[in-house]
Amino acid sequence: MRGAVYIHLAESAPHNLGENKKYTGVGGHLFAIAIKLSMAMDFNGYVFLEAKNEELANHYAENFGAKLLATRVHDWRMEIDEENAIALLEKYTLEGDLNVKRKED
């Protein structure tokens, strides 16, 4: 059965925006966590989300391999497929075990 993890909201904290941000790559790491959860749920890393605007949609496409989905639900609904999910996990390494486990049936 095919499924997906829905990324409801991924935002940087106000102190982590612009040129003087404290950390870089936070968004990529958040997406990597969602992908790891998707893999733990046997969805092969597949995730989807709604970008807030065209600028973010372009950012997600360029940096994470996200693709727009044709839908009437949201103008900027996007997916990250299994192939791009693996590439993201290779780029954004996660330190430690996130204790992501599949829910027992």
Smallest CA-to-CA distance from 36 within 27, 50, 21, 47 is with 47
Expressed in angstroms, the distance from the first to the final Cα of the chain is 14
Which pTM does this prediction carry?
A: 0.80
Between CA 55 and CA 50 the distance in angstroms is: 12
Between CA 27 and CA 9 the distance in angstroms is: 10
Residues constituting the chain:
105
Between CA 67 and CA 55 the distance in angstroms is: 14
* Tens-digit pLDDT string for the chain (105 aa): 478 999 988 777 777 777 777 777 778 888 999 999 999 899 999 999 999 999 999 999 999 999 999 888 888 999 999 999 999 988 887 665 555 555 454
